[in-house]
Amino acid sequence: MIRQAPSKAGPAVTTAEQTWTGRWVADRAGIVLSGSERLPELVGLALRSGNPRRAHLLVSSVLGKHVPQRPAVVHGAGLELGRRVADLLGAEAAARAVVLGYAETATGLGHSVADGLDAPYLHSTRRPVPGVVPLGGFEEEHSHATAHLLLPSDPGLLAGDGPLVLVDDEISTGRTVLNTIRELHARHPRGHYVVVALVDLRSADDRARLAGAAAGLGVRLDVVATASGGVDLPGDIVERAEKLIASVPPAVVPAAVAPAPLVRVRLDWPAGLPDGGRHGFTARDRERLDAVLPSLAGQLAQAVPATAERVLVLGFEELMYAPLRLAETLAQRLGGDRVRYSTTTRSPVLAVDDPGYAIRTRLAFPAHDDPRDEASRERYVYNVAPGTDRARRFDAVVLVVDDVADTPALHQGERALLRQLRQVTDRVVLAVLPSHRPALPTPLYGPEFSSYRPEEVAWLLKDLSGVPLEAPTEEREEAVQNGGAHYAESLPVEYRPSPEYQELFHQALRGSADRIALAVGTVAETLLRERGPGLVLASLARAGTPVGILIRRWLAFAHGLDVPHYAVSIVRGRGIDPVALRYLAAHHRAADVVFVDGWTGKGAITRELADALAGTGFDPDLAVLADPGRCVRTYGTRDDFLIPSACLNSTVSGLVSRTVLRAGLIGPEDFHGAKHYAELAGGDVSAAFLDTVAGCFASVSAAAVGEAERLAADPDRTPDWAGWAAVERISAEYGIDDVNLVKPGVGETTRVLLRRVPWRVLARRGAGADLDHVRLLAAQRGVVVEEVDGLPYTCVGLIHPRYSRGATGASGRAVTGRAVTGQAVTGRAVTGKES
For residue 647, the model assigns a pLDDT of: 74
Letter for the amino acid at 633?
Answer: R
* pLDDT category of residue 75 using cuts at 50, 70 and 90: very high
Q: Find how far residue 767's CA is from the centre of its chain.
A: 45
For residue 93, the model assigns a pLDDT of: 96
CA distance 804 to 822: 14
Does the pLDDT at position 371 exceed 80? no
**Residue 811: DSSP 8-state:** T
Mean pLDDT, the chain, whole residue set: 86
Note the pLDDT tens digit of each residue in 572-587: 888 899 899 989 988 8
Q: Is the peptide bond before 447 cis (omega within 30 degrees of 0)?
A: yes
Q: Classify burial at 30, counting beta carbons within 10 Å of its beta carbon; exposed 0-12, middle 13-18, buried 19 or more.
A: middle
For residue 504, the model assigns a pLDDT of: 77
Note the pLDDT tens digit of each residue in 243-264: 888 888 877 666 667 899 999 9
In this predicted structure, which of 205-214, 388-397, 475-484 has the lowest mean pLDDT? 475-484
* pLDDT category of residue 648 using cuts at 50, 70 and 90: confident
For residue 640, the model assigns a pLDDT of: 84
Q: Are strands 262-265 and 428-433 parallel, antiparallel or unpaired?
A: parallel
**Mean per-residue pLDDT for 496-517?**
85
Does the pLDDT at position 818 exceed 60? no
Note the pLDDT tens digit of each residue in 307-341: 999 999 999 999 999 999 999 999 999 999 999 99
Does the pLDDT at position 732 exceed 80? yes
The reported pTM is 0.71
Note the pLDDT tens digit of each residue in 765-816: 888 777 888 888 898 888 999 998 878 888 899 987 654 444 444 444 444 4
In the chain, what percentage of residues exceed pLDDT 90?
55
* pLDDT category of residue 473 using cuts at 50, 70 and 90: low
Q: Find how far residue 430's CA is from the centre of its chain.
A: 32
For residue 802, the model assigns a pLDDT of: 56
Does the pLDDT at position 143 exceed 80? no
Q: Is the peptide bond before 104 cis (omega within 30 degrees of 0)?
A: yes
**Residue 718: DSSP 8-state:** S
Does the pLDDT at position 594 exceed 80? yes
The CB-side HSE value for 114 (13 A sphere, CA atoms) comes to 32
- For residue 148, the cross-strand partners are 138
Note the pLDDT tens digit of each residue in 46-61: 998 866 667 888 999 9
Helix (H, G, I), strand (E, B) or coil at 318: coil
For residue 1, the model assigns a pLDDT of: 24
605: left (phi over 0), alpha (psi -120 to 50) or beta: alpha
Does the pLDDT at position 831 exceed 50? no
Note the pLDDT tens digit of each residue in 757-779: 788 899 988 887 778 888 888 98
Does the pLDDT at position 375 exceed 70? no
Q: Beta-carbon neighbour count of residue 756 at 10 Å? A: 25
**Mean per-residue pLDDT for 209-218?**
94
CA distance 124 to 541: 32
Note the pLDDT tens digit of each residue in 3-48: 222 333 333 343 334 689 999 999 999 999 888 888 989 999 999 8
**Mean per-residue pLDDT for 698-720?**
90
Smallest Cα–Cα separation from 667: which of 389, 383, 440? 440
382-410 burial, b at 16+ Cβ within 10 Å, e below that, comes to bbbbbbeeeebebbbbbbbbbebbbeebb
For residue 717, the model assigns a pLDDT of: 83
Helix (H, G, I), strand (E, B) or coil at 559: helix
Does the pLDDT at position 418 exceed 90? yes
Q: Which residue has the higher pLDDT, 1 or 692?
A: 692
Kind and range of the H or E run holding 201: none
For residue 684, the model assigns a pLDDT of: 92
Measure the N-to-C terminal CA separation of the chain; round to a whole number of Å. Answer: 82
**Mean per-residue pLDDT for 553-562?**
97
CA angle 750–755–760, rounded 5-degree value: 60
Q: For residues 647 and 512, is the Cβ–Cβ distance under 8 A?
A: no
